[in-house]
A and B are shown apart, each in its own frame.
Chain A
Amino acid sequence: MSDLAQLSQERTQLFQDVYDGKIPKRVPMVNLLTHEFCIEYAGLDLTEAQWQLAKVFDEVGDKACRDFPSDILPLFGIRFPSVYRLLGARNFVMSSTGFIQHPEVVGMDVEDYDAMIASPYDCIVERVLPRLYTELARDPVHKAAAMAKAYKAYNDEFATVGAVYGKLAQKYGYANFPLFAGMCQAPFDLLTDQLRSFKGILADIRRIPEKVEAAVEALTPLMIKMATTSPCGKYLAKFIPLHMGPYMRTEDFEKLYWPTLKRTVEGIREKGSPSFLYVEGHMMRYLDYLYELPENTILWFEYGDPKVIKEKLGKKHIITGLYPLVSLKTDTKQQCVDRAKELIDIMAPGGKYFFMLDKTPLTLDNINPENLQAVADYVINHTYY
């Protein structure tokens, strides 16, 4: 067996052990870098590069993989300007600096609740998408053409980055282990983000809570299906970023957000996969709810008290995150490494832990790259059990 194949196997075993509830040889290191970050790191123009991924992504990905140690492929991106431009997107728009931004849009009017409750997929196709994407509001021929072009672009772009991912995974001996093998949203977040909007849903909770409840119930089978059309298995976790919890009153969270999120995670587990939740924002008041989720749910925390999280959730679930990205910008190299050591000393005992930042760096100026390199080196070389 080649050295790289051996390395890949060892790294794969680290993650399998964590997911199986066994103590791994050492703490696995997960770096996760967005395409935008990697493009900036490679010194390329963000606008141009995103329109020329077939030409530049090999170089972009390779530089990031070469310089940022990780046990798993560290690249991540799902938004491509070609798809959004072909559809006339109002919800994802490239700024003058090249970042794809998400203006607050309302894809679903309050009058659409009954249609959403009766058939969410029909409502999305007939009413929501034409509001979000101007080309889908045109006559049938233009609409069909726009959809065909965008679908081709979507497949081409994912194929381009996918081919590079595969090549780099082999070149750098990464774990044969996907961090995310599919995704969906919490039904309440789907109803909020691009459908009713942040402002809209907060008004709906007050005025028509029974319709909000019925809508999220109706959306739940859609979310389970979305996560599980891709292959399922005990090492094929489905990513669910959580958004609205921190902004809700606990009683609203308990009635309108939590039940369908829990059912979504359980539905995904019934198909054979764990869920990988990004617990974004301040969610410490919901730890008891998170405990209820199926065993070995992966919980990536942005904020929180590591000791409390480990104590309350760490025996049942797999915990990651909590290392502040901002530290990589503001602290010295040694301070960054010391902070990593301190966090690992709390989180690693007993296993069910891998190292990850609290959030992904979106732009190059989010961090001092040398600090991230130092922290990654520390995790990989100094965290043997």
Chain B
Amino acid sequence: MITTKYYQTWAEYLAAHPEISFKEEKVMAPVMQKYEDAFFDFIMYLCI
């Protein structure tokens, strides 16, 4: 688990956005998490 302002798990994002419906969540979750992880990968790539 990493502690940061700049990365959110899907669970954290969902907690901050209660307006998201169950139907949206099913399809949104993997997409949103994918982009969150992809950006994390890019930031770490810039450090190596």
Interface residues of A (CB under 8 A from B): 78, 87, 107, 118-122, 124-125, 128-129, 132-133, 151, 154, 183-185, 190, 193-195, 221-222, 225-226, 229-230
Contact = CB atoms under 8 A, between A and B. Distances in A.
A132 B6 contact: no
Tell me whether chain A's interface is mostly helix, strand or loop, or mixed.
helix
The 3 closest A-B pairs by CB, nearest first: A121-B4, A229-B37, A226-B44
Contacts of B40: 121, 225-226, 229
Contacts of B45: 78, 154
B41 A226 contact: yes
Contacts of B6: 121-122, 125
Interface in B3-46: 3-7, 37-46
Interface of B: 1-7, 37-48
Contacts of A133: 46
A195 B4 contact: no
A157 to B, nearest CB: 11
A104 to B, nearest CB: 15
Nearest to A228: B37
Contacts of A225: 2, 40
A193 B2 CA distance: 21
B2 A222 contact: yes
Nearest to B40: A229
A287 B38 CA distance: 35
Nearest to B1: A221
A154 B6 CA distance: 20
Contacts of A132: 46-47
Given A119-B3, A222-B2, A225-B2, A190 B42 contact: no
A250 to B, nearest CB: 26
B37 to A, nearest CB: 5
Given A221-B2, A225-B2, A124 B42 contact: no
